[in-house]
Structure 1
Amino acid sequence: MSVRLDIAFFASSLVSSYWNGAATYYRGMVKALNDLGHRITFFEPDAYERQSHRDMPDPEWASVVVYRPTLDDVHRSLSRAARADLVIKASGVGVFDEVLEREVLSLKRPGTQVIFWDVDAPATLERVRRNPQDPFRPLIPKYDLVLTYGGGLPVVERYRALGARDCVPIYNALDPATHHPVAPRPRFRSQLSFLGNRLPDREARVEEYFLKAARLFPGGDFLLAGSGWGDKELPPNVRYLGHLGTAEHNAFNCSAGAVLNICRDSMAENGFSPATRVFEAAGAGACIITDCWTGIEQFFAPGREILVADSGEAVARLLGELTRERCAAIGVNAYHRVSAQHTYAHRARQFEEILGIARDKAPALAGVAP
């Protein structure tokens, strides 16, 4: 008989993508786990104005508990989570992370596992390396398992060296019911579009791969979306949209000649860390240009399913060479690859395999090519 788990999940936010790049990852994983019969209670703090910038109502496939950013409410949420079969603490909740990382471990008991799910493993590992007194460091061996959403073998080896019982990456993926081809919109038309919040460890790469490319290709039409870029000096051929809710991501990806992916510094240096938006764009059938990072070929075939650039000059050169027909072909190839191998249905099955959950007979993955 297949196991159905009650899962308590502490993370930044399921219902708001506002300053919360991991939102679509959480949504994809939680929804796919619910589809397999697991029951998820998602605990998120009322912080960083996320609740006033929701881009979805409470979903049918999870119970969302929004708690006040106070120590009392944190402990009340932990008490409620004590009834779960599995407790997950994600990195970067943003409120009382040290308390949660310590206190979720008190919920371990026979039949209940506690997992740390790191959605920014390179940054976490670098922080712990720089500070041997980091309070998270001695807690790592106490978790039953560490999951990450990227990083590959380098991250696995570093976590194991810190005493983790095991570390397994569960990569970003596509929810084909959420991200898919739609009709283009004039508002989002461009030759090259980039979507990403302004972050300190991403800005220099945005300047190199996007803004520099725009300056080198002055006849092109460039579109920038994401929070925090309002006071950034932009080339005249770059139009800025501001924060873009997830409901508009499909139209954004389907309206551009090409969509640019730019990794954060730590992700690019470590490799094996495809961003959620790569899979979203592929699911929309977009032609993706990405900056260089180790492990790209594990997910997409360079030159056939994705284009790779090592500089702003390379991005500008690609834009000068691309035809509408080639963009369309690359987008179609990426769509078929992501649908066949990289959906959250695949990732949820991987999650069950990691936990040793057996299924009597696994149903066919809905919407996924054989």
Structure 2
Amino acid sequence: MKIAVYGSSLLSSYWNGAATYYRGLFAAMARRGHAISFFEPDAFDRQAHRDIDPPDWVRSVVYPATPDAVRAVLAEAADADVAIKCSGVGVFDAELLRGLHGAGRPGGVHVFLDVDAPATLAELGDAPDHPLHAVLPELDLVLTYGGGNPVVSRYREAGARRCVPIYNALDPATHHPAPAVERFSAELSLLANRLPDREARIEEFFLRPAALLPDQRFLLGGNGWHDKPLPPNVRALGHVATAAHNSFNCSARAVLNVARDSMAAVGFSPATRVFEAAGAGACLLTDAWEGIELFLQPDQEVLVARDGQDVAEHLRALTPERARRIGEAAMRRVLAGHTYDRRAVLLERVLAEALDARKAGMPS
């Protein structure tokens, strides 16, 4: 298949948590013989903060964030078997969404890939004029990177023909055990950009335990925290490039995951960070959300906290030996069942079915 993807950025994780998902999933599709083109706008200073150069498995196109450039890249959908518009590009999202269906070739499949499905569905409910309302019934397929049956049902109710979750996963070639480094040393580390729909949860699950455990070291990576009042035992790093994620994950006793509000409410939405940390053999501590046992077994492969008090109690009881056992068990689990190569098998099948359905519906 020739697959054209219109997303936020493949090359930069700067204010772009979906980058490693795109890299892992589409690299795995390329290994299966598919030709991938990824179109991303030059926006939000991402190109000045690239984590990687364009890899050899993809045709990477960075276009100016202008209406003419958007029209030019949309025209390339006519040459693709599958055209995928991702959520959260950040500029010209409505134009890309509306334009993709008209630009695609006859017999081609048009897909919406939602990397923040609970939030998107909330927007649909609040905004009757959202452009996705008009486009959704015309799309062949909606893919989400989480959400399980609750998200599938809500997308079907909103008019989607078919909705299939393609979950986050691990790329073992990118995220794996690495030597600990002193600058990332801590009892608990968190890697998360400061976002309005997650900040209160980070205050509860990260900053509150830090205040409860003043003798322990807490490390906070991600954009936007420079002007946030922090306890004295919390050190803010700013943006942490993906090349440093393995060392970051392997240098703390435990690594915290905190879901965004909408994903925590819906459940079945493990963040990329979950698999990155597990793949590095880190001891993962996560806020509670429904469906986690589908990915990691609580108390054996992951520690689960209902609130900041739980986080503090886990840290008080967590010995280096138990942290190592949990991390090793999590790594075995994700390598066995949650790699992007496995996700690509499902994605390939789903896209092939959509192409077959599209061909069957064309006049002979």
Instruction: Pick from 225, 230, 237 the counterpart of residue 233 of structure 2.
Output: 237
Tell me which moved more, 22-31 or 347-356. Answer: 347-356
Q: Work out whether 1:87 is the aligned partner of 2:72.
A: no
AA partner of residue 48 (structure 1): F
Please tell me whether the aligned partners of residues 16 and 53 of structure 1 are also in contact (alpha carbons under 8 angstroms).
Answer: yes
1:354 CA displacement:
1.4
1:110 CA displacement:
3.6
Q: Work out whether 1:257 is the aligned partner of 2:253.
A: yes
Instruction: Pick from 102, 124, 128 the counterpart of residue 128 of structure 1.
Output: 124
Instruction: Name the SS of the counterpart of 2:330 in structure 1.
Output: helix
1:265 CA displacement:
0.3
Match of 2:191 in 1: 195
Tell me the C-alpha RMSD between the 2 structures.
Answer: 0.8
AA partner of residue 102 (structure 1): R
1:190 CA displacement:
0.4
Match of 2:60 in 1: 64
Match of 1:150 in 2: 146
Instruction: Pick from 312, 320, 333 the counterpart of residue 316 of structure 1.
Output: 312
Match of 1:349 in 2: 345
Please tell me whether the aligned partners of residues 107 and 114 of structure 1 are also in contact (alpha carbons under 8 angstroms).
Answer: no
Match of 2:289 in 1: 293
Taking every aligned residue pair, what percent have the same amino acid on both sides? 60
Instruction: Name the SS of the counterpart of 2:40 in structure 1.
Output: strand
Please tell me whether the aligned partners of residues 80 and 105 of structure 2 are also in contact (alpha carbons under 8 angstroms).
Answer: no
Instruction: Name the SS of the counterpart of 1:257 in structure 2.
Output: strand
Match of 2:273 in 1: 277
Match of 2:158 in 1: 162
Q: CA–CA distance in 2 between the matches of 1:131 and 1:177?
A: 41
Instruction: Name the SS of the counterpart of 2:71 in structure 1.
Output: helix
Match of 1:365 in 2: none
Q: Work out whether 1:219 is the aligned partner of 2:229.
A: no
1:81 CA displacement:
2.5
Q: CA–CA distance in 2 between the matches of 1:233 and 1:178?
A: 33
Match of 1:181 in 2: 177
Q: CA–CA distance in 2 between the matches of 1:138 and 1:101?
A: 10
Instruction: Give a deviation string over 1:91-119, Cα, whole Å, max 9, x none.
Output: 01111000010010113444310100000
Instruction: Give a deviation string over 1:61-108, Cα, whole Å, max 9, x none.
Output: 101100101110000001122111110000011110000100101134
AA partner of residue 351 (structure 2): L
1:134 CA displacement:
1.6
1:353 CA displacement:
1.8
Please list every run of 5 or more consecutive structure 1 residues that lacks an aligned counterpart in the other structure. 358-370
Instruction: Give a deviation string over 1:227-263, Cα, whole Å, max 9, x none.
Output: 0000000000111111000000000000000000000
Instruction: Pick from 22, 33, 39 the counterpart of residue 35 of structure 2.
Output: 39
AA partner of residue 322 (structure 1): L
Q: CA–CA distance in 1 between the matches of 2:174 and 2:99?
A: 34
Instruction: Give a deviation string over 1:265-298, Cα, whole Å, max 9, x none.
Output: 0100010000000000000000000001110001
Instruction: Name the SS of the counterpart of 1:277 in structure 2.
Output: helix
Please tell me whether the aligned partners of residues 4 and 83 of structure 2 are also in contact (alpha carbons under 8 angstroms).
Answer: yes
Number of aligned residues: 353
Instruction: Name the SS of the counterpart of 2:79 in structure 1.
Output: coil
Instruction: Name the SS of the counterpart of 1:136 in structure 2.
Output: helix
Match of 1:208 in 2: 204
Please list every run of 5 or more consecutive structure 2 residues that lacks an aligned counterpart in the other structure. 354-364
Q: CA–CA distance in 2 between the matches of 1:198 and 1:237?
A: 19
AA partner of residue 298 (structure 1): L
Q: CA–CA distance in 1 between the matches of 2:139 and 2:201?
A: 34
Q: CA–CA distance in 1 between the matches of 2:104 and 2:77?
A: 11
Instruction: Give a deviation string over 1:129-160, Cα, whole Å, max 9, x none.
Output: 01122222121111000000001101000000
Q: CA–CA distance in 1 between the matches of 2:260 and 2:147?
A: 13
Please tell me whether the aligned partners of residues 173 and 347 of structure 1 are also in contact (alpha carbons under 8 angstroms).
Answer: yes
Instruction: Name the SS of the counterpart of 1:319 in structure 2.
Output: helix
